[in-house]
Chain A
Amino acid sequence: MADAETKSIDKASIEMIEKAASDGGDKSALIQILLTIQSENHWLSKDALMWVSEKLSIPLTQIYHISTFYKAFSLVPKGRHSVSVCLGTACHVRGAPRLLDKVTDALKVKPGGTTRDMRFTLNTVNCLGCCALGPVMVVDGQYYSKPSTKEIEQIATACK
């Protein structure tokens, strides 16, 4: 594959794939490779998946099977800022659905979606393990406990 076709994949992932391919095409590392591509590039582009398919000799359908089964993967580009609202049982019992409504209204995007200007991607997650802070919203790794509507708006404005 020419260099031009790998431009949507980061260097770290390319190295990981080349290593797996040279290690006798270890197919069991597929999920780990996809996780790295996802975290470095914030999505799995078609180019990236085709390249993995070629290098590791895994059929593209199998790679799509995995990419669509696991929640960690996204086949569309994600926004610059990641917003997650926890819907775990403890947070649910403490009013998480209402928090989600507030966040959805403030960011003007539905859970799972990305805003048109690519600023935010909103996700729901099923437990962050900090139940004492519930209900919890996480923006780019920063945790916010029981944020009010005003606080949510302030946080959103601060994200460019």
Chain B
Amino acid sequence: MPKLNSATDLEKFRQRILTHRDPNKVSVAICSGTGCHAYGSEKVAEAFVDEIERNGLRGKVDIRRTGCHGFCERGTIVVIFPEEICYLRVKPEDVPEIISTTLVEKKLVDRLLYEDGNGQKIVHEGEIPFYKHQNRIVFGNNRLIDPKSLDDYIALGGYSALAKALFRMTPEQVLEEVKEANLRGRGGGGFPAGIKWETTRNAPGEIKYVIVNADEGDPGAYMDRSLLEGNPHSVLEGLLIGAYAIGSHQGFVYVRQEYPLAVENLDIALGQAREYGLLDKNILGSGFDFDVMVHRGAGAFVSGESSALMTAIEGRVGEPRPKYIRSAVSGIWERPSNLNNVETWATVPLIINKGVDWFRGIGTEGSKGTKIFSLVGKVNNTGLVEVPMGMTLREVIFDIGGGIPKGKKFKAVQTGGPSGGCVPESFLDLPIDFDELAKAGSMMGSGGMIVMDEDTCMVDLARYFLNFLAEESCGKCVPGREGIYQMLKILNRICEGKGKEGDIELLEEISEVVRDASLCALGGTAPNPVLSTIRYFRDEYEAHIKEKRCPAGVCKALISYYINPEKCQACLICLRDCPVNAITGGKNLVHAIDQDKCIKCGTCLEVCPTRFDAVVKLSGVAVPEPVAEGTEVVRKRGGKK
């Protein structure tokens, strides 16, 4: 592959690819992101390869293992082009039928199609409600690209933004575009990228660095991973444009080591880019040099913080430092370093190609463009969604997410990861916007959106986040190290039923210090989960402390399992399944739980047949005395109540 030495070379190459591709040729896209991979997508892909061979269709049908499509609840996802027929939950054993029915007979396999609430089947990916309400300008290409193929990316217009920047714009003009577009950082901070770029560009020093932060440590957030795995070139193109604007010739991608597929696809993409002349010396014959080094993280949440990450790249322990001097001025090896999130970089080529007005036309006054969220937790349609800023939380959770499973009631949605807060039902019509979310006591964060229902205990949730932060705290500053730990101790006590009057006020007091005096944003935002849950769910805290009651029935020390002797039908199932043999009774004899032996595992509640419904969880009330041993069950006529 001879190097592309000019913008014209790139265009000619693109045209050559397109002329060799028949848009009407049948092609099968199999989602092969990590999520679908866990569902067994590789076996599905192999089944397609085998069946296509067996049916003599080799050469007539293309197979493409793509990146994540986003509808993770329904993996493995298969889309057949050009019709865009979307099959969900595909298993290897479904493949022969798909080939014979759809590819050969041109008919549909109904049972694999999406079915809406009215029993109506939907055929095309774009019409499925989950996708219909989204605006997938950054993420959408994942379904069309084999991440290991640079040709696929170029065929879709890839690197045309880079060519435009290098040959038809000056670095200053590129910088102005990004500034005017008001692209705010998608990693959590929401800081205007253009201003950060400008600071780096203007900082003294010849050598400058640009960095992709792919450390994505927020539990429950995996947007960056799917973007890097599925469309690495989109990130690389953005990085190149940024490097050109800033005047940097060396880039770094810091990827957490827990993302092996992202590392692998990134390495392949970099190798291909170098081969094609899109990286390294004299890119596209423009005279601009730039190369990228990949640095794997080693399992530390705090190292995703900007200054900590740069320290880790230097090979030292990734602890944050005080930011009297911003890292844009003094970063890696004290040189000006511009760090941005994966999604931020991937948005840059779009702004350059489509212009500021187009970008500013999407979103709200203060938050332009789209944002990718990982919609997870107690929601029907778990997956990755990309929506315009300004869409309400209600629309995301209910229209796209399909609401809460099992008919349960929505309780809260948590955004911003361990640095964020919970937003209750009264705020469901809040537009998604950096500033609006902050006003409500939460924050945009990197994009994790965790939905909770009536069975989630908000005190336990605050405790969960503080436990996470206590473990991940680097230990350097006292507010972070001691403050978070003390808050955790108090929350542990409350969840164990040992809460005291004054605990809530004490938590609020410590929060203030931790928030104001911590060295970095880990400590600075650590109080958010606690403060936001106290703000909106104070009654739950008070129930735990004053009544020793957990309203959601979660905190083990505050709940008891009890078998209602009037409903028990002595089926022996719970008796046999109890892991600690805490249930007495027998055939025809009422079952009873020995509270002293019970480890609150919940198995009895799980296995009691729904038609009997005899096991309940009690909290805040005394467990009734067990019936006398040998009591016979009350048989229900006809087995029904």
CB 8 Å contact bits of B209-223 with A (1 = contact, 0 = none): 000000001111110
Task: Flag whether A139 is at the interface (Cβ < 8 A).
Answer: no
Within 8 A of A (CB), among B330-381: 374, 376-378
Of all chain A residues, the one with the shortest Cβ separation from B414 is A89
Task: Flag whether A132 is at the interface (Cβ < 8 A).
Answer: yes
Task: Flag whether B314 is at the interface (Cβ < 8 A).
Answer: yes
CA distance A71 to B314 in the complex (A): 18
Cβ contacts under 8 Å, A30 to chain B: 315
Do the beta carbons of B456 and A127 come within 8 Å of each other? no
Report the minimum CB–CB distance from B507 to chain A (whole Å).
20
User: Helix, strand, loop or mixed for chain A's interface?
Assistant: helix
Report the minimum CB–CB distance from B475 to chain A (whole Å).
9
Interface centre among A29, A126, A131 (most CB of B within 10 A): A131
CA distance A102 to B464 in the complex (A): 19
CA distance A73 to B316 in the complex (A): 15
Of all chain B residues, the one with the shortest Cβ separation from A26 is B315
* Known A89-B417, A130-B34: A31·B376 in contact at CB below 8 Å: no
CB 8 Å contact bits of A128-160 with B (1 = contact, 0 = none): 111111101000000101000100000000000
Task: Flag whether A65 is at the interface (Cβ < 8 A).
Answer: yes
Interface size class of chain B, counting residues whose CB lies under 8 Å from the partner chain: 35 or more
CA distance A27 to B311 in the complex (A): 12
Task: Flag whether B569 is at the interface (Cβ < 8 A).
Answer: no
Task: Flag whether B317 is at the interface (Cβ < 8 A).
Answer: yes
Task: Flag whether B301 is at the interface (Cβ < 8 A).
Answer: yes
Within 8 A of B (CB), among A35-80: 35, 62, 65-66, 69-73
Do the beta carbons of B295 and A129 come within 8 Å of each other? no
Cβ contacts under 8 Å, A29 to chain B: 315
CA distance A94 to B451 in the complex (A): 10
Cβ contacts under 8 Å, B39 to chain A: 133
Do the beta carbons of B377 and A93 come within 8 Å of each other? yes
Report the minimum CB–CB distance from B311 to chain A (whole Å).
10
Query: A27, A87, A93, A133: which contacts B452 (Cβ < 8 A)?
Result: A93
Do the beta carbons of A70 and B220 come within 8 Å of each other? no
Report the minimum CB–CB distance from A60 to chain B (whole Å).
14
CA distance A15 to B452 in the complex (A): 50
CA distance A145 to B217 in the complex (A): 22
Cβ contacts under 8 Å, A127 to chain B: 218-222
Interface size class of chain A, counting residues whose CB lies under 8 Å from the partner chain: 35 or more
Do the beta carbons of B222 and A129 come within 8 Å of each other? yes
Report the minimum CB–CB distance from B92 to chain A (whole Å).
16
CA distance A126 to B259 in the complex (A): 13
Task: Flag whether B313 is at the interface (Cβ < 8 A).
Answer: yes
Query: B75, B296, B602: which contacts A98 (Cβ < 8 A)?
Result: B602
CA distance A74 to B258 in the complex (A): 15
Task: Flag whether B468 is at the interface (Cβ < 8 A).
Answer: yes
Do the beta carbons of B35 and A87 come within 8 Å of each other? no
Interface centre among B299, B301, B313, B461 (most CB of A within 10 A): B299
Do the beta carbons of A133 and B579 come within 8 Å of each other? no
CA distance A62 to B34 in the complex (A): 35
Interface centre among A29, A127, A136 (most CB of B within 10 A): A127
Do the beta carbons of A132 and B602 come within 8 Å of each other? no
Cβ contacts under 8 Å, A145 to chain B: 38
Q: A66-B317, A131-B35, A132-B75 are in contact. List 4 more A-B contacts (CB 8 A).
A: A70-B299, A70-B300, A90-B382, A130-B34
A-B contacts, 12 of them at CB < 8 A, read A31-B295, A69-B300, A73-B299, A87-B219, A89-B417, A90-B220, A90-B382, A93-B456, A126-B219, A130-B34, A132-B35, A133-B39
Among all A-B residue pairs, the 4 with the closest Cβ atoms: A129-B222, A71-B299, A88-B219, A70-B298
